[in-house]
Amino acid sequence: MRHDRDPPTVTIIRPRKLPAIAAAALLALPLGGLLALRRDTVIWMGEPTWIVLGTLIAIAFCLLAFRLFSPEPLMRIGPEGIAIPKLLATPLRWADIGKIQATTRRGTTGDVHDRIVFHFKHPQSVDWQSAKLRRLFGDTPQAAVAVDIGMTWPLRADDVRKVIRDAARTFAAAPVLHSDARGIRRRRWRSVRLASCAVAAMLPAVLHFADIGLPRQFSEGLALYRGGDVGAALPLLQTDARAGDREAAYILGTLYLNGDGVERNTAMAAGWFRRAADAGHGDAAYNLANAYRLGLGTPQDIDAALEWYTTAAKRGSSAAAYTMGTIYRLGDGVRRDYAKAIEWLRDAAARDFAPAEHDLGQLYREGIAVPRDLVTARDWFSKAAARGHAPARYDLARLMLDGTTQQRGIGLTYLIQAAESGYAPAQRRLAAIHFNAQGVTRDTVTAFKWISLAERSWPAATRADLVREKARIKATMNADELERAKTQIRAWRPTKDE
C-alpha cells in the first residue's frame, strides 16, 4: 500500500490492507454472532466451557485485528541490509548481495508471477523463517534468494528493485548512526498487543457475569411455546430450564401461575420464578416478589417481597419500581412513607411507565407530600395520557373541563378517548355530559349508551348509583331512542392504542 521511513533512513514496504469498514465488518460479524449465541452456547456447553471458548475466540480475534489494521511489513530496507520478515529470520546484509534481479515465473495454471531475486556474491547458508524451509534446505549454501511479489504487495517487482537501489544509494552517500529507537518502538508495540489481548481475554467473562447478550436464538421449546403449542413445548421448556435457561424457567412459572396448558399450581410457579430470578431474569424477580407479597405458592413475607421488588427494579422492571412506590404510598404491609413512595414512582416514571406518571399527577393534584400544583399535575397526566393510559386521560380531562373553552374542547377529547378504551369512570362522566348538555347538544341516546357500558364494569358495592342514573336517563327516552341506544351498545368495542 505505501512505503515510508521509520526512522527516516529505513524504508518499509507495507502490504495492502482491507478498507477499514471491511476489516471492521470482518471482525464485528463473528463477534456479534458469538454474543448473540451466548445464552444458547451456555445451555449447550455450560458456563465454564463457554467462558473458555469465548476467551480463546476473543484472543484470536484480537490478534486478527492487529493483522488486519496493522499488518507486518513485507520488506524493511535499512543500513544493515534488507529484512524480509515472512521469509528470513535475519536480514540480508548489503555486503553479501551481489545483484538484485526482477523476474517473472509461470505458475502451475499458466499465470505469470512477479518475483525479485537477491543473488549472493558467494554461496552461503540462509537463516530461514519457516520450519518448512529449514527442513527443506537446512544449512545448504544458497546462491540466491527469491521473493514472490503477490497480490498483497503494493508494488511490482521492478518498482521494488528501484526502491531498493534508491535506498542503497542513500545509505552509501550518507551513512547513519545506529540507534535503539526501533527496538524501543517494537517493545512498546508488543506491550500494547499484550494489553489488548488481556482485555480481549477478559471480555467473555465480563459479558457473562454482567449478563450482556441477546435472548436465546435456538430453542425448540421456546419456538413451540411462541407458536401456541404449549403441550409439546412443556417438556422441552423443563429440560432447558433445568439446564439453566432463565427464559424457559420464567415461561414455566407463568404457565403454572395462570394454569395455561397445565393444572394451576402456585407453588410450582413460585419455584420456577425463583429459578429464573436467581439466573437474573427481571420479570421473574417481579413475579416472585408478587408471590411473597400475596402469599401465592409461598408463605407471605413482605420483607422478601420488598427485596425481590428492589432486585427486579434494578434489573430494569418499571412495574417493580411502580409497585414499590404504591406499597409505600398506601402503607401496604409497611409503614406509609411518602418520601420513598415518590422516589420509587419517579424511578418508574423516568422509565416512561404511565401508571407511575399518573400517580405522580394525582399526588400533585391533591397536594399529598408535595406542594399542590395543578400545572405539574397536568404535565404528569399528559405524559401518561400520551402513552394511552385511560385513567390519566380521564383525570386530565377532569382538569381541562374546568378550564377555558379551548381547554374544555381538549378535555372532552381526552374524556372520549378514555371512555372508548373502556374506562368506566370516563364513560359515566361522558353520559352525564350528554344528558345534562354540558358544552354539547343534549343526546339521551349517547348518554344511555355510556351509562350502560359503565354499569357493566362498575364495582358492585357502588353500582346502585349508576342504576339510578341509568333509570333517570331511560325515563326521558321513547321506544325508538331506546332501541337505537341498545344497537349502539351491542356494536361497541373498546379501542386499543397502538
Beta-bridge partner residues of 88: 128
Residue 382 in any domain: the answer is: yes
Give the tens place of pLDDT for each residue, 289-343. Answer: 999 999 999 999 999 999 999 999 999 999 999 999 999 999 999 999 999 999 9
Closest CA to 114 of 74, 141, 168, 142: 74
pLDDT of residue 80: 82
Is the predicted pLDDT of residue 176 greater than 50, yes or no? no
Query: pLDDT tens digits for 461-486?
Result: 889 999 999 999 999 999 999 999 99
Q: Are residues 112 and 193 in the same domain?
A: no
pLDDT for res 476: 94
- % of the chain beyond a pLDDT of 90: 47
pLDDT-derived band of residue 112, with 50, 70 and 90 as boundaries?
low
Q: Are residues 123 and 67 in the same domain?
A: no
Q: Number of structural domains, the chain?
A: 4
Is the pLDDT at 356 greater than 90? The verdict is: yes
pLDDT digits (tens, 9 = 90+) for 12-22: 888 877 666 66
Which of residues 201 and 84 earns the better pLDDT score? 84
> Do 26 and 96 belong together in one domain?
no
Q: DSSP readout, 149-161?
A: E-TT-SS-HHHHH
What letter represents residue 347's amino acid? D
Name the pTM for this structure. Answer: 0.67
Average of per-residue pLDDT across 181-192:
63
What is the rounded average pLDDT of the residues 378-401?
A: 94
pLDDT of residue 1: 43
The per-residue pLDDT for 5 is 45
Rounded-to-integer distance, Cα 37 and Cα 238, Å: 20
Judge if 410 and 426 occupy the same domain: no
Cell numbers standing for residue 245: 435457561
Domain residues for the domain of 440 are: 422-498
Instruction: Please check whether residue 171 lies inside any domain of the structure.
Output: no
Q: What is the CATH number of the domain that holds 298?
A: 1.25.40.10
Identify whether residues 376 and 447 lie together within a single domain: no
Does residue 168 belong to any structural domain of this protein? Answer: no
Domain annotation covers residue 469: yes
Higher pLDDT, 202 or 414: 414
The residue among 358, 387, 414 that closes a domain is: 414
Whether the pLDDT of residue 178 is over 60: the answer is no
Query: Does residue 8 register a pLDDT over 70?
Result: no
CA 145 from centre of chain: 54
Boundary (domain end) residue, out of 131, 163, 195:
163
Q: Please give the average per-residue pLDDT across 352-371, as a whole number.
A: 95
pLDDT grade for 2, boundaries at 50, 70 and 90: very low
Q: Please say if the pLDDT value at position 9 is more than 70.
A: no
- 200 and 246 in a single domain? The answer is no
Question: Higher-confidence residue: 59 or 255?
Answer: 255
Whole-number pLDDT of residue 18: 67
Share of the chain above pLDDT 70, in %: 89
Read off the pLDDT of residues 218-268 as tens digits, 9 standing for 90 and up: 788 888 888 889 999 999 999 999 988 899 999 999 999 999 989 999 999
Residues 37-49: tens digit of each pLDDT: 777 877 777 777 7
pLDDT band for position 26 (cuts 50, 70, 90)? low
Q: Which of 4-8, 383-387, 402-406 has the lowest mean pLDDT?
A: 4-8
Long-range contacts of 109-115 (CB under 8 A, 24+ apart): 113/148, 113/149, 113/150, 114/148, 114/149, 114/153, 114/156, 114/157, 115/146, 115/147, 115/148, 115/149, 115/157
Residue 169 within any structural domain of the chain: no
| pLDDT top residue among 447 and 203 | 447
3 within some domain: yes
Domain end, chosen from 388, 414, 440, is at 414
Domain co-membership, 97 together with 187: no
The answer on 341 and 230 residing in a single domain is yes
3-class DSSP string for 9-39 = CCEEECCCCCCHHHHHHHHHHHHHHHHHCHH
416-441 per-position pLDDT tens digit: 999 999 999 999 999 999 999 988 89
> How many whole angstroms separate alpha carbon 216 and alpha carbon 113?
50
| pLDDT score of 322 | 97
